[in-house]
């Protein structure tokens, strides 16, 4: 879960930068418990956790999952749109990684995140930060796409928001059908980018590979 605290500096002038602290309310990870669970899993899979090359595996696996499942706090910094910029702002090809909640296998790819500004604009690096915030957890791609769009809609109040995710899922490429190289695309649109056909077409045209 994600909570948004009060502004870092309450009551700034309209033209000043504003920052909302995005913090996680997820419970802390029990690393020793995770190590014991990995060791038990190795035994259940017919492996010897006391073998030389597996001695540190429970610790390494627990640490790796802790990193993948721990979002980082950050400030969602916005600025007054003094120039009244009213065209699409798009960050294209943002890399991301997440964990499939069905198989605990990674999925990774790129995201295209854009918005039509209203009164405020956001620091461009924060688009990647918002994506990382929700990607660090057990996810499905559809929900991740929607969460990024909803967060920007709620806290930036733009005229429109668009998010496209392209990802390869290891639960597809490494098991089951083993369809290596298959990429899944999902999208979420809000506001003008959803209701106006021309704006929607421009957004999708700019997100396509050239």
For residue range 97-124, what is the model confidence (pLDDT) as tens digits? 999 999 999 999 999 999 999 999 998 8
Lowest mean pLDDT across 70-79, 99-108, 149-158, 191-200: 70-79
Q: For the domain that residue 117 is a member of, what is the CATH number?
A: 3.30.1130.10
Assess if residue 21 is contained within a domain. Answer: no
Residues 95 and 187 grouped into a single domain:
yes
* 147 and 55, same domain (yes or no): no
164-202 core/surface letters (b: 16 or more CB in 10 A; e: else):
bbbbbbbebbeeeeeeeeeeeebbbbbbbbbeeeebbeb
48 plus 84 within the same structural domain: no
Assess whether 36 and 103 both reside in one domain.
no
75, part of any domain: no
Count of structural domains, the chain: 2
Within-domain flag for 25: no
pLDDT > 70: percent of the chain: 90
Instruction: Give the separation between CA 97 and CA 71, rounded to whole angstroms.
Output: 12
User: Using 50, 70 and 90 to split pLDDT, how confident is the model at 3?
Assistant: very low
Asked if the structure places residue 7 within a domain, the reply is no
So what's the pLDDT on residue 101? 94
| 3-state DSSP helix/strand/coil % of the chain, to nearest 5 | 35, 30, 30
């Amino acid at each position: 879960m994600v909570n948004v605290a009060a502004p870092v500096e309450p009551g700034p002038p309209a033209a000043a930068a504003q920052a909302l602290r995005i913090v996680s309310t997820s419970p802390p990870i029990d690393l020793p418990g995770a190590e014991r669970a990995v060791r038990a899993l190795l035994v259940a899979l017919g492996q010897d956790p006391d073998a030389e090359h597996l001695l540190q595996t429970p610790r390494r696996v627990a640490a790796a999952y802790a990193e993948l499942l721990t979002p980082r706090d950050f400030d969602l910094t916005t600025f007054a749109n003094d120039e009244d910029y009213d065209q699409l702002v798009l960050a294209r090809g943002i890399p991301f990684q997440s964990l499939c909640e069905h198989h605990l296998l990674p999925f990774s790819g790129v995201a295209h995140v854009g918005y039509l500004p209203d009164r405020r604009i956001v620091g461009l690096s924060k688009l990647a930060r918002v994506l990382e915030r929700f990607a660090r957890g057990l996810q499905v791609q559809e929900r991740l796409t929607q969460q990024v769009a909803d967060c920007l809609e709620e806290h930036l109040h733009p005229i429109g928001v668009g998010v496209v995710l392209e990802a390869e899922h290891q639960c597809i490429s490494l098991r089951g059908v083993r369809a290596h190289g298959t990429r899944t695309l999902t999208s979420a649109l809000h506001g003008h980018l959803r209701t106006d056909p021309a704006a929607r077409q421009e957004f999708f045209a700019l997100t396509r590979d050239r």
